[in-house]
């Protein structure tokens, strides 16, 4: 299986702190995506990073991809209470174009 596995499963921090979540996967991929899910809501796409990219930014989000270690990280800087959600990484089955395989997610809690 090339399912991504997020680490940690749960993370609790204070507002203003940075939050780092990691994702490991098993087979070669050409892209990796991160999604956010607020409680009781659908998933929202955050970032797609391709295998030829090492790092990508979007606002307070920074995603890295290390294809040699088959891992990715999502950093949220200066966290806010509104960042409280579950965060999932997703990789394509077959490495490139297959349907998305989601990890089990990291549940982030940001306390005001």
Partner 1 sequence: DTAVSQTPKYLVTQMGNDKSIKCEQNLGHDTMYWYKQDSKKFLKIMFSYNNKELIINETVPNRFSPKSPDKAHLNLHINSLELGDSAVYFCASSQDPAGGADTQYFGPGTRLTVL
Q: Which residues contribute to the site for partner 1 (CB under 8 A)?
A: 30-31, 33, 35, 37, 40-45, 48, 86, 88, 90-94, 96-102, 104-105, 107
Give least dist CB 45 to partner 1, A. 5
Nearest distance, CB of residue 25 and partner 1, angstroms: 12
For residue 7, the number of C-alpha atoms closer than 13 Å in the C-beta half-sphere is: 9
Min dist CB 11 to partner 1, Å, is 14
> Is the CB of 39 or the CB of 68 nearer to partner 1?
39
In the complex with partner 1, the residue whose CB is nearer, 59 or 112, is 59
Name the minimum Å distance from CB 3 to partner 1.
Answer: 9
What residues have CB less than 8 Å from 81, skipping those under 6 apart?
15, 110, 111, 112
List Cβ neighbours of 110 (8 Å cut-off, separation of 6 or more): 13, 14, 15, 17, 19, 79, 80, 81, 82, 83, 84
Q: Which residue(s) pair with 7 in the sheet?
A: 22
- Of the pair 22, 37, the CB lying nearest partner 1 is at 37
């Amino acid at each position: 299986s090339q399912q991504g596995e997020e680490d940690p499963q749960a993370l609790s921090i204070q507002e203003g702190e940075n939050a780092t979540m990691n994702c490991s996967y098993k087979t070669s991929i050409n892209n990796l995506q991160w999604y956010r899910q607020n409680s009781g809501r659908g998933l929202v796409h955050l970032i797609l990073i391709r295998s030829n990219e090492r790092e990508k930014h979007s606002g307070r989000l920074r995603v890295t991809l290390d294809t040699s270690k088959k891992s990715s990280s999502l950093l949220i800087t200066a966290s806010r209470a509104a960042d409280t959600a579950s965060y999932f990484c997703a990789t394509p089955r077959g490495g490139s174009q297959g349907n998305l395989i989601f990890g089990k997610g990291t549940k982030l809690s940001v306390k005001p």
